C-alpha cells in the first residue's frame, strides 16, 4: 500500500507534516480531512507490501525493528487486558509510536478497525510489518476472545527472536570489523606505501628476491585494477543477495551454510530453537498442529528447515504425528524427536517444545562463544602472515644491498 508524505494546516492554523498510508492520494486527503487537517502539499514516497523479486531485482529495504514491534505488542496486550476498547487502545499506541513507519501502519490499522474490519484482516494488509505468524495468532485470539493473552505470548516470542538475532550479530560484528580494518590496512600498504619502496629498490638495478618480485607484481595489480576489483566484489555481493531471493538460490545457500564447520552447527541450533518456540507459541494460541506447521515453515528463516517442515506437514495429513517424521530428519538430532514424542503422549507438547527451545538457546550461546574464539585468532594469524610477508619482501633486498 502506498505511503504519502503530506503538509497540512489544522483548524487553529498550525502547520503539521507527516506520512499517511492510503491506496490513493484522494483517499489520503479524505483521511486527513476527517482528522480536521487541510492539506497544502502531498507526495507519494514509498509502498508498503510484498513485491515479486527476481535475482536481478534486489533493493535495499529498511526493515521494521523487531524489538520495537515486540514492545508495541506488549503494550497493546496490557491495554486490552486493562479493559480498554480495541480502537481506543490503537489510538493510544499511535500517539506514542516514535518510529514513523510503524506509526503509519498502526494508524491505518486503527482506521480500518473503526470502519468495521477485523484486527487480523487490517494487519494482513501490511505483510512487510506483520508476519503470517503474527496475523494468524491475532486471528486465533479474536476467535477465542483471548486476544490480550495471545498478544502477550506474541510479544514474548518477538522479544526472544530479537535477543537471538542480537546475540548472533554481536558474535560476528567484532570479527567482521577486524577483517575490514585489516583488509583496509593491507590495501593501503599495497596501493600507496609499497609502490614507493619497491620503486626505489628497482632503480638500484639489482636482482631482487622472489618475495620482493611477488610483492611488486601484487602491488602493480592493486594500482592498476583496484577499482575493477572493488566493482567486481560489489557486483558479486549484489548478485549473491539477489540469488538468495530466489527459491532455489536460497535453498542452495542455506544448505551450504549448514555444512560450514561451527557456523553450520550454530545455524542448525538456531533454526531448531526458532522452530520449537514458534510451534509452541502457535499451539498455545489454539491453532491446529497442521496450520501451525504451515506457518512455522514460512517464518523459520531457513529454506532447508522450511522444506523439512513441509515434509512433516505432508506426513501429518497422511495421519502421522509430528515426532515420527521428525525423528527421520537429518536436520533434527534424535533427542528432539524423542522429546516431542513424549510431549505428544503426555499432552504437554507446548511445555516440551519450550524446554527444547531453552536448551538450544543455551547451546547457541556456547556455539557463539566457540565461533568467536575460533574466528578471531584465524583473522589475526592471516593478517600477521600478510603483514610479515610485506615486511620480509621489503627488508630482504635492503639487507642484500647492504651486505653486497
Q: Is 185 exposed, middle or buried (0-12, 13-18, 19+ CB in 10 A)?
A: middle
Comparing 35-49, 86-100, 220-234, 277-291, the range with the smallest average pLDDT is 35-49
User: Domain 163-404, CATH 1.20.81.30 — does that match?
Assistant: yes
What pLDDT is recorded for position 362? 86
Which is more confidently placed, 86 or 4?
86
What pLDDT is recorded for position 10? 78
Residue 174: pLDDT band with limits 50, 70, 90? confident
Comparing 70-79, 165-174, 216-225, the range with the smallest average pLDDT is 165-174
Comparing 150-154, 349-353, 395-399, the range with the smallest average pLDDT is 395-399
Percent of the residues in the chain that have a pLDDT greater than 70, as a whole number:
92
Which is more confidently placed, 324 or 174?
324
Mean pLDDT calculated for residue range 89-109: 88
Which is more confidently placed, 16 or 84?
84
Three-state SS at 36: coil
d(CA 38, CA 7): 9
Mean pLDDT calculated for residue range 193-204: 74
What pLDDT is recorded for position 39? 81
Q: Where are the alpha helices (DSSP H) in 128-258?
A: 132-144, 147-188, 194-203, 210-244, 247-258
Domain with CATH 1.20.81.30 in the chain: 66-160, 163-404
Mean pLDDT calculated for residue range 106-132: 88
pLDDT at residue 283 greater than cutoff 70: yes
Q: Which residue has the cell 610485506?
A: 390
What pLDDT is recorded for position 58? 37
Comparing 40-44, 96-100, 279-283, 324-328, the range with the smallest average pLDDT is 40-44
pLDDT in tens, 317-352: 888 888 888 888 888 998 999 999 999 999 899 999
pLDDT at residue 173 greater than cutoff 70: yes
Mean pLDDT calculated for residue range 164-192: 80
- Other beta carbons within 10 Å of 192: 12
What pLDDT is recorded for position 30? 81
What pLDDT is recorded for position 179? 83
pLDDT at residue 305 greater than cutoff 80: yes
Which is more confidently placed, 6 or 159?
159
Domain with CATH 3.10.20 in the chain: 2-47
pLDDT at residue 61 greater than cutoff 50: no
* Close Cβ partners of 303 (under 8 Å, ≥ 6 residues apart): 247, 250, 251, 253, 254, 255
pLDDT at residue 356 greater than cutoff 90: yes
Quick one: DSSP state of residue 145? T
pLDDT at residue 24 greater than cutoff 80: no
pLDDT at residue 51 greater than cutoff 50: no
What pLDDT is recorded for position 46? 52
Strand order in the sheet with 38-47: 15-21, 2-9, 38-47
User: In whole angstroms, what separates CA 173 from the centre of its chain?
Assistant: 14
Q: Residue 55 corresponds to which cell in the numbers above?
A: 535475482
Q: How many helices (H) and strands (E) does the chain have?
A: 16, 3
Residue 62: pLDDT band with limits 50, 70, 90? low
What pLDDT is recorded for position 236? 92
Percent of the residues in the chain that have a pLDDT greater than 90, as a whole number:
14
d(CA 393, CA 201): 11
What pLDDT is recorded for position 82? 93
Comparing 203-217, 294-308, 326-340, 354-368, the range with the smallest average pLDDT is 203-217
Q: Where are the alpha helices (DSSP H) in 285-348?
A: 289-299, 303-317, 323-328, 334-346
* CATH number of this structure's domain 66-160, picked from the four choices 3.40.462.20, 3.40.50.300, 1.10.10.10, 1.20.81.30: 1.20.81.30
What CATH number is given for 2-47 in this structure? 3.10.20
d(CA 269, CA 249): 22
Residue pair 327/341 in contact by the 8 Å Cβ criterion: yes
What pLDDT is recorded for position 404? 56
Using only C-alpha atoms, the chain has a radius of gyration, in whole angstroms, of: 28
pLDDT at residue 81 greater than cutoff 90: yes
pTM: 0.65
User: In whole angstroms, what separates CA 356 from the centre of its chain?
Assistant: 23
Amino acid at each position: 500500500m502506498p505511503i504519502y508524505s503530506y503538509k497540512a494546516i489544522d483548524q487553529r492554523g498550525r502547520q503539521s507534516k507527516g506520512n499517511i498510508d492510503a491506496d490513493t492520494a484522494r483517499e489520503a486527503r479524505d483521511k486527513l480531512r476527517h482528522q480536521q487537517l487541510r492539506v497544502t502539499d502531498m507526495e507519494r514516497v514509498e509502498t508498503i507490501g510484498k513485491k515479486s523479486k527476481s535475482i536481478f531485482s534486489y533493493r535495499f529495504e529498511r526493515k521494521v525493528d523487531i524489538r520495537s514491534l515486540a514492545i508495541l505488542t506488549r503494550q497493546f496486550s496490557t491495554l486490552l487486558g486493562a479493559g480498554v476498547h480495541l480502537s481506543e487502545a490503537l489510538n493510544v499506541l499511535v500517539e506514542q509510536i516514535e518510529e514513523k513507519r510503524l506509526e503509519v501502519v498502526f494508524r491505518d490499522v486503527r482506521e480500518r478497525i473503526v470502519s468495521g474490519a477485523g484486527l487480523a484482516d487490517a494487519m494482513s494488509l501490511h505483510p512487510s510489518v506483520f508476519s503470517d505468524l503474527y496475523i494468524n495468532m491475532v486471528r486465533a485470539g479474536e476467535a477465542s476472545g483471548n486476544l490480550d493473552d495471545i498478544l502477550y505470548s506474541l510479544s514474548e516470542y518477538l522479544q526472544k527472536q530479537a535477543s537471538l538475532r542480537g546475540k548472533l550479530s554481536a558474535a560476528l560484528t567484532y570479527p567482521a570489523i577486524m577483517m575490514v580494518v585489516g583488509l583496509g590496512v593491507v590495501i593501503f600498504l599495497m596501493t600507496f606505501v609499497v609502490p614507493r619502496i619497491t620503486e626505489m629498490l628497482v632503480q638500484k638495478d639489482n636482482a631482487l628476491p622472489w618475495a620482493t618480485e611477488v610483492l611488486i607484481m601484487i602491488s602493480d595489480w592493486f594500482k592498476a585494477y583496484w577499482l575493477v576489483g572493488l566493482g567486481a566484489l560489489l557486483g558479486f555481493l549484489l548478485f549473491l543477495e539477489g540469488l538468495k531471493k530466489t527459491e532455489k538460490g536460497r535453498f542452495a545457500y542455506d544448505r551450504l551454510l549448514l555444512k560450514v564447520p561451527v557456523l553450520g552447527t550454530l545455524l542448525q541450533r538456531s533454526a531448531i530453537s526458532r522452530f520449537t518456540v514458534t510451534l509452541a507459541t502457535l499451539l498455545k494460541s489454539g491453532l491446529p498442529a497442521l496450520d501451525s506447521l504451515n506457518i512455522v515453515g514460512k517464518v523459520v528463516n531457513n529454506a532447508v528447515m522450511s522444506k523439512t517442515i513441509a515434509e512433516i506437514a505432508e506426513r501429518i495429513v497422511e495421519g502421522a504425528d509430528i515426532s515420527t517424521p521428525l525423528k527421520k530428519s537429518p536436520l533434527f538430532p534424535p533427542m528432539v524427536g524423542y522429546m516431542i514424542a513424549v510431549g505428544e503422549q503426555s499432552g504437554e507438547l507446548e511445555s516440551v517444545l519450550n524446554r527444547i527451545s531453552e536448551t538450544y538457546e543455551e547451546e547457541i550461546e556456547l556455539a557463539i562463544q566457540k565461533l568467536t574464539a575460533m574466528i578471531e585468532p584465524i583473522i589475526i594469524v592471516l593478517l600477521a602472515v600478510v603483514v610479515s610477508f610485506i615486511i620480509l619482501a621489503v627488508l630482504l633486498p635492503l639487507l642484500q644491498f647492504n651486505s653486497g
